[in-house]
A and B are shown apart, each in its own frame.
Chain A
Amino acid sequence: MAAPLCVQLEFGGGAELLFDGVRKHQVTLPIQPGPWDIRCLLVWIKENLLKERLELFMQGDSVRPGILVLINEADWELMGELDYQLQDQDNVVFISTLHGG
Chain B
Amino acid sequence: MKCKEGPPVLIIRVGDAFCKACFKDYFVHKFRATLGKNRCIFPGEKVLLAFSGGPASSAMVRQVQEGLSRDAAKKLRFKPGIVFVDEGAVCGQDLGKRREVHSQVEMILRATGFPFHLVHLEEVFDLPGSILRSISHNATDDSQSYKEAVDGFIRRQQQQQSERTGDSLPGQLSELSVRCPPGKEAVEVPGPLSVSHTAELTHLFRAVKTLTAKEELLQTLRNHLILHVARTNGYTKVMMGDSCTRVAVKLLANLCLGRGAFLAGDTGFSDSRHGDVLVLRPMREYSAKEIAFYNRLFGVPAVFTPSLDTKVRGAALHRSSPPVPAAQIQRPCSPPPPAPGRPPHYPLISFLYKLQSEFPATISTVYRTGEKLGTTPRDAGGDAEPERCLLCLCHLDTSVVDGSSLQSTLLSEELCRKPPPSAGSGCCGGAPNETGCCRSSPTAGAVPSQAVLFPLLCYSCRLTVKDMTCLEPLPPYVHSEAERRQRRAAMKQEIQEFLLEDDLPAS
Report A's interface with B, CB cutoff 8 A: 12-14, 16-18, 20-21, 51-56, 59, 64-66, 68, 70, 73-75, 77-78, 93, 95, 97-101
- Say how far B50's CB is from chain A's closest CB, in angstroms: 11
A100 and B326 contact, CB distance less than 8 A: no
Bound-complex Cα distance A65 to B18 (A): 21
B310 and A70 contact, CB distance less than 8 A: no
Bound-complex Cα distance A60 to B126 (A): 50
What 1/0 mask marks residues of chain B from 291 to 316 whose CB sits below 8 Å from any chain A CB? 11100110000001101001001101
Given A70-B296, A99-B307, 20 further pairs, Cβ under 8 A: A13-B292, A17-B310, A52-B319, A52-B329, A53-B317, A53-B326, A54-B326, A55-B326, A64-B353, A66-B353, A68-B292, A75-B9, A75-B293, A78-B10, A97-B289, A97-B353, A98-B353, A100-B54, A101-B55, A101-B57
- Say how far B401's CB is from chain A's closest CB, in angstroms: 29
Point out the residues of chain A lying under 8 angstroms from B17, CB to CB: 78
Point out the residues of chain B lying under 8 angstroms from A14, CB to CB: 304, 310
- Say how far A23's CB is from chain B's closest CB, in angstroms: 10
Assess whether B7 is interfacial by the CB under 8 Å rule. yes
Bound-complex Cα distance A73 to B319 (A): 32
A77-B313 in contact given A68-B293, A98-B349, A100-B307 (Cβ < 8 Å): no
B310 and A73 contact, CB distance less than 8 A: no
Point out the residues of chain A lying under 8 angstroms from B326, CB to CB: 52-55
Bound-complex Cα distance A101 to B291 (A): 10
Query: Which of A64, A78, A95, A100 has the largest number of chain B CB atoms within 10 A?
Result: A100
A64 and B350 contact, CB distance less than 8 A: yes
- Say how far A20's CB is from chain B's closest CB, in angstroms: 8
B54 and A78 contact, CB distance less than 8 A: no
**Can you pick out 17 interface pairs between chain A and chain B where the beta carbons lie within 8 Å of each other?**
A13-B304, A21-B318, A52-B319, A52-B323, A66-B353, A70-B293, A77-B11, A78-B8, A97-B55, A97-B245, A98-B346, A99-B54, A100-B305, A100-B310, A101-B54, A101-B56, A101-B245
Bound-complex Cα distance A95 to B316 (A): 20
Neighbour of B292 across the interface among A18, A65, A74, A95, CB < 8 A: A95
Point out the residues of chain B lying under 8 angstroms from A78, CB to CB: 8-11, 17
Closest to A75 in B: B10
Bound-complex Cα distance A18 to B292 (A): 18
Bound-complex Cα distance A66 to B347 (A): 12
Interface size, B (range)? 35 or more
Q: Is the interface of B mostly helix, strand, loop or mixed?
A: helix
- Say how far B190's CB is from chain A's closest CB, in angstroms: 22
Point out the residues of chain B lying under 8 angstroms from A53, CB to CB: 313, 316-317, 326, 329
Neighbour of A51 across the interface among B310, B323, B354, CB < 8 A: B323
- Say how far A13's CB is from chain B's closest CB, in angstroms: 6
- Say how far B20's CB is from chain A's closest CB, in angstroms: 8
Point out the residues of chain B lying under 8 angstroms from A95, CB to CB: 292, 296
Bound-complex Cα distance A75 to B304 (A): 22
B297 and A73 contact, CB distance less than 8 A: yes
Assess whether B324 is interfacial by the CB under 8 Å rule. yes
Bound-complex Cα distance A95 to B329 (A): 24
Assess whether B357 is interfacial by the CB under 8 Å rule. yes
- Say how far A84's CB is from chain B's closest CB, in angstroms: 14
Bound-complex Cα distance A99 to B318 (A): 17
B241 and A101 contact, CB distance less than 8 A: yes
A17 and B354 contact, CB distance less than 8 A: no
- Say how far A78's CB is from chain B's closest CB, in angstroms: 5
Closest to B358 in A: A65
A18 and B317 contact, CB distance less than 8 A: yes
Point out the residues of chain B lying under 8 angstroms from A93, CB to CB: 296
Assess whether B356 is interfacial by the CB under 8 Å rule. yes
Bound-complex Cα distance A64 to B326 (A): 15
Neighbour of B10 across the interface among A55, A74, A98, CB < 8 A: A74
What 1/0 mask marks residues of chain B from 7 to 30 whose CB sits below 8 Å from any chain A CB? 111110000010000000000000
A52 and B349 contact, CB distance less than 8 A: no
A65-B293 in contact given A52-B323, A52-B329 (Cβ < 8 Å): no
Closest to B354 in A: A65
- Say how far A28's CB is from chain B's closest CB, in angstroms: 21
Assess whether B288 is interfacial by the CB under 8 Å rule. yes
Bound-complex Cα distance A59 to B354 (A): 10
A65-B317 in contact given A54-B326, A101-B55 (Cβ < 8 Å): no
- Say how far A29's CB is from chain B's closest CB, in angstroms: 20
Bound-complex Cα distance A85 to B243 (A): 33
A65-B9 in contact given A17-B317, A52-B324, A93-B296 (Cβ < 8 Å): no
